Amino acid sequence: MKSWGVGQRPEPYEGPKANGGTRRDGRGEPAVYHSNLVSNGSPPLLLAHLSDLHATAVAPSGLRELANKRVLGWLSWRRRRRFEHLDFVLEALIADLPASGASHVAVTGDLTHVGLPSEIAEAAGWLARIGPPERVSLVPGNHDAYAPSRAADPWAPWRAYMESQGADGLDVGTGAGEARFPFVRRLGHAALIGVSSARPTAPLLATGRVGAAQRERLESILRKLGDEGVCRVVLIHHPPVRAGQSRRRQLDDAGALRALLARTGAELVLHGHTHRSHFDALPGPHAPIPVVGVPSSSSVGAKEARRARYHVYRIEHAGPRRFSVSYEVRGFDPATRRFASEGGGAL
């Protein structure tokens, strides 16, 4: 295991600051990022991975909003979750992001508890704090699709964080809600491919599904980007591996997704959902595909394994169709109430 020295990172620069990067309540400053956006042959890409922010208050506007599965989620939040996921932890993470050296942030879902419209709006304030849409990419989680919505686009306040960039000629999703996935965002020699596994489920289930239509587009995208020799980083909330999850929390079409990845390959798969660090690998056509999950960004850590952490990936172009990927773990220290490096390694 090796950790990165600060001297290995590019020099920070002051800006651009996040668009509209203040919270709705006016507190706090947005994160400021470093200038290591890359083109082929240029400096490495540093990509931060956050997940499962759960940084919202469940405040239904009336009983009607809880007249479904959401009443169970509301009870869970009242009894337990509101004492585990705390604003000051996420505040500390946002304050730490500039020190990570990351130029882009990937967020793999579960920004809310029960996906109420008021929570979606509140979470948009946190996203603005993390960074502007061109520097932050988001896929939703099962809590963000907790119950069926009558809205044409329930995630509309997050739309700019889920839009493709530089994806001409690729079979990306278009439309609202689930139909907008996969999206593709090019970052120099890398591309982020955002996949949605979030869809409403029956009470007591936290399962996910990518679905045949999205998988078909994903296969086309991964093949084309693979032919280009781009470093393909897939973002998805549910892990495509078992990752210690019960069937009640699994990705229902994980087998089909694994078979797809075995055909197309990918250089890295990043997920959330488990609220724990998880390192795994899937077979690819030429080399194993690293699959890495990150704990919740806001957990105060009553259980050590669930204490808030985020990961920072360093993705270097190492020759034609070759990349070296290493990572740093940055974790919340309850004593100092700050995040600090906990080491890292190579994938």
Q: What residues line the site for Fe ion (CB under 5 A)?
A: 52, 110
Q: How far is the CB of 73 from Fe ion (least distance, A)?
A: 11
Sign of CA dihedral 69, 72, 75, 79: negative
Q: Cα(93)–Cα(88) distance, rounded to whole angstroms?
A: 9
Kind of pairing, strands 322-333 and 338-346? Answer: antiparallel
Least separation, in Å, of the C-beta of 51 and Fe ion? 7
Q: Report the nearest approach of Fe ion to the CB of residue 198 (Å).
A: 11
CB of 109 to Fe ion, least distance (A): 7
Residue 34's DSSP bridge partners are: 12
Terminus-to-terminus CA distance in the chain, angstroms? 10
Q: How far is the CB of 141 from Fe ion (least distance, A)?
A: 6
Order of strands, sheet of 289-293, starting from the edge strand that comes earlier in the sequence = 183-187, 190-194, 231-236, 268-271, 289-293, 278-282
Given a contact cutoff of 8 angstroms between Cβ atoms, the answer to whether 31 and 18 are in contact is yes
CB closer to Fe ion, 55 vs 99: 55
Q: Which is nearer to Fe ion, 4 or 155 (CB)?
A: 155
Q: Which is nearer to Fe ion, 84 or 110 (CB)?
A: 110
Distance in Å, CB of 272 to Fe ion, minimum:
6
Shortest CB 76 distance to Fe ion, Å: 11
- Minimum CB separation from Fe ion for residue 250, in Å? 14
296-317 in b/e form (b: 16+ CB < 10 A) is bbbbbbeeeebbbbbbbbbbbb
Between 52 and 122, CB nearer to Fe ion: 52
Q: 111 or 269, CB closer to Fe ion?
A: 111
Contact by Cβ (8 Å): 124, 13 = no
In whole angstroms, give the CA distance from residue 128 to residue 113. Answer: 19
Task: Count the residues in the chain.
Answer: 347
- Helix axis angle for 212-228 and 254-264, nearest 10°, is 20
State which residue, 104 or 306, has the beta carbon closest to Fe ion: 306
Nearer to Fe ion, 30 or 141 (CB): 141
201 vs 264, beta carbon nearer Fe ion: 201
Tell me which H or E stretch contains 225.
Answer: helix 212-228
Distance CA 275, CA 277 (A): 7
